[in-house]
Amino acid sequence: MAVLYIAGGILHFTKTSTYLRIVPPYIPYHLAVVYISGILEIVLGAGLFFDKLRHYSALGLIILLIAIFPANVYMLTSGLFTSIPRWVLWLRLPLQAVLIAWAAWFL
C-alpha cells in the first residue's frame, strides 16, 4: 500500500496535467491542490513503513481519500472523461471505500 501511494504521489508531479483535469472547477487553486495532494500521498505512504508513524499515516490517508472523493464524482458526472469507460468511472466510487478500509487496517 505504501508503494502505491508513493508512486501515485510522484505521478502528481510527472503527470500534473492529468491530475489538473480531475480537480472539480469549484475547488480553487488547482495546481496547489494537485501538488499538495501529491506531497501528502508521498509523505503518508512513506509513513506506513515506520511503526511509530503508521497509525497517523493511515489516518491521514483516510482523510485524504475522503477529501479527494469529489474528484471521482466529478469525473463521473462532468461528461468530460469520455475516453474512460463509464464502468471504470463508476468503479472508482466504491474503490475509495476499499482503499479507506485498507488504510484502516493499518490503524
Q: Calculate mean pLDDT across residues 75-96.
A: 97
Task: Give the model confidence (pLDDT) of 23-54 as tens digits.
Answer: 999 999 999 999 999 999 999 999 999 999 99
Max Cα–Cα distance, the chain, nearest Å: 43
Mean pLDDT of the chain: 98
Total domain count, the chain? 1
CB 69 within 8 A of CB 45: no
For residue 95, name the pLDDT band (cuts at 50, 70, 90).
Answer: very high
Structural domain span for residue 6: 2-104
Specify the pTM: 0.94
